[in-house]
């Protein structure tokens, strides 16, 4: 992952990214301790704090549990996926952006864009999550569901321009 992180932080990051089988944000808790029996609550807590400092996870401290509740962030997939899946979410984002520039209607339903990409959901969701901030918030379909980061995006001309600029800067 990243050399400035401790070995345990790197291992925890990979562990969580591998277990998020749909490429969406995952939730982890004290159960993680059982999978790292040679580590203490303190060492795991410090490693999680390292991951939080780099934006890979968000931690919610609660009274009672040994570890804070952990929520993975899309940045974890950006860091881990090239090693885990062999796919780079940044490169995949460029592919999705090009598809949407060519056919903006594909964005209306995430499932349509996923089908057009030909990718399995684990590969599709991280770059799709990275794409969302490029779209004006009012055109991001907000609904509660467990399949995609959002149900879809409705692209206006300014969103297409933002995607074109992203592609030029990252292709």
Closest to 113 (Cα-Cα) out of 72, 64, 163: 163
**Which pLDDT does position 105 carry in this prediction?**
94
Q: Are residues 26 and 75 in the same domain?
A: yes
Q: What domain range includes position 93?
A: 89-170
**Which pLDDT does position 57 carry in this prediction?**
97
| Domain closes at, from 30, 50, 84 | 84
Each residue's pLDDT, cut to its tens digit, for the chain (171 residues) gives 578 999 999 999 999 999 999 999 999 999 999 999 999 999 999 999 999 999 999 999 887 688 999 999 999 999 999 999 999 999 999 999 999 999 999 999 999 999 999 999 999 999 999 999 999 999 999 878 889 999 999 999 999 999 999 999 998
DSSP state of 28: E
List all residues 6 or more positions away from 18 whose beta carbon is below 8 Å from its beta carbon: 80, 84
* 2 located within any domain: no
* 137 located within any domain: yes
Joined together, the tokens standing for residue 4 give: 């400035």
List all residues 6 or more positions away from 58 whose beta carbon is below 8 Å from its beta carbon: 52, 70, 71, 73
Per the CB < 8 A criterion, the answer to whether 75 and 82 are in contact is: no
Distance CA 4, CA 1 (A): 9
Closest to 80 (Cα-Cα) out of 51, 113, 120: 51
| Domain closes at, from 52, 84, 116 | 84
Q: Are residues 59 and 131 in the same domain?
A: no
**Total of domains in the chain:** 2
Model pTM? 0.91
| Domain closes at, from 30, 56, 84 | 84
Distance CA 107, CA 151 (A): 9
Helix, strand, coil shares, percent, the chain, to 5: 60, 10, 35
């Amino acid at each position: 992952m990243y050399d400035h992180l401790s070995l345990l932080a790197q291992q925890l990051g990979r562990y969580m990214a591998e277990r998020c089988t749909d490429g969406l944000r995952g939730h982890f808790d004290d159960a993680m301790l059982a999978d790292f029996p040679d580590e203490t609550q303190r060492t795991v807590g410090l490693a999680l704090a390292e991951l939080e400092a780099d934006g890979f996870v968000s931690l919610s401290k609660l009274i009672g549990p040994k570890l804070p509740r952990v929520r993975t962030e899309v940045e974890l997939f950006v860091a881990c996926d090239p090693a885990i899946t062999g796919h780079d979410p940044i490169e995949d984002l460029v592919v999705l952006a090009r598809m949407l520039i060519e056919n903006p209607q594909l964005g209306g339903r995430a499932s349509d864009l996923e089908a057009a990409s030909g990718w399995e959901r684990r590969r599709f969701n991280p770059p799709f999550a990275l794409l969302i901030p490029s779209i004006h918030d009012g055109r991001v379909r907000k609904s509660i569901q467990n399949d995609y980061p959002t149900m879809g995006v409705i692209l206006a001309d300014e969103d297409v321009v933002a995607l074109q600029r992203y592609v030029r800067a990252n292709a």
